Amino acid sequence: MSYLKQLDRDLLGFFSEGIKNAFFDQLMPFFSLINNHGEVWIALAIILMINKDTKIRRLGISVLIALAIGNIIGDQILKNIITRQRPIGIEFGFDFIIKLPKSYSFPSGHTTSSFAVFGAFLFSKARYKYWVLALASFIAFSRIYLHVHYPSDILGGIVLGLICGKLAVKLGKGFFRKEN
């Protein structure tokens, strides 16, 4: 187990310190900020839900369901059971460029929500899923770069998010089946 913890710390050091540069110092806070409370994904869900096409509206509802499930399981339950501290210790000697989150670290909420939305797109076989994947990946990477999550927090968020996306699509299909 200590090997995995050390690997996590080494990867964090590489991604948050080893590739640190002025361009990423400007870009990564933006990608993190647009999803501090799910704003980017909630806006996307609303845009999808106001579309006249039932399939696109169903995707919007699936996105909201995925976000809700991810928040409940990840932020409300798992973080409070696992209680993993964030990598903000003095031992890193890292200069933070964003305000430090106060919640626990595992799983990453930014990553869970982002990959829950990607999962909804993926399992719905929706267009533009690769654009959503790209944005979700930038958001997830920003959390490591900004030194507020370990890589395993991100991996946990990806797995949980995809599960939430899959579940949301199934629930969304059930909801619309009653309507048809």
Give the pLDDT of the chain (180 residues) as one tens digit per residue: 688 888 888 888 887 777 888 899 999 999 999 999 899 999 999 999 999 888 888 999 999 999 999 999 999 999 999 999 888 655 566 677 787 888 899 999 999 999 999 999 999 999 899 999 999 999 999 999 888 899 999 999 999 999 999 999 998 777 665 554
pLDDT value for 20: 83
Among 2.40.50.100, 1.10.3720.10, 1.20.144.10, 1.20.210.10, name the CATH number for the domain at 37-175.
1.20.144.10
SS3 178: helix
Q: What is the DSSP string of 99-160?
A: PPP-S--SS-HHHHHHHHHHHHHHHTT-TTHHHHHHHHHHHHHHHHHTTSS-HHHHHHHHHH
pLDDT value for 129: 95
- The end-to-end CA distance of the chain, in Å, is 51
pLDDT value for 180: 46
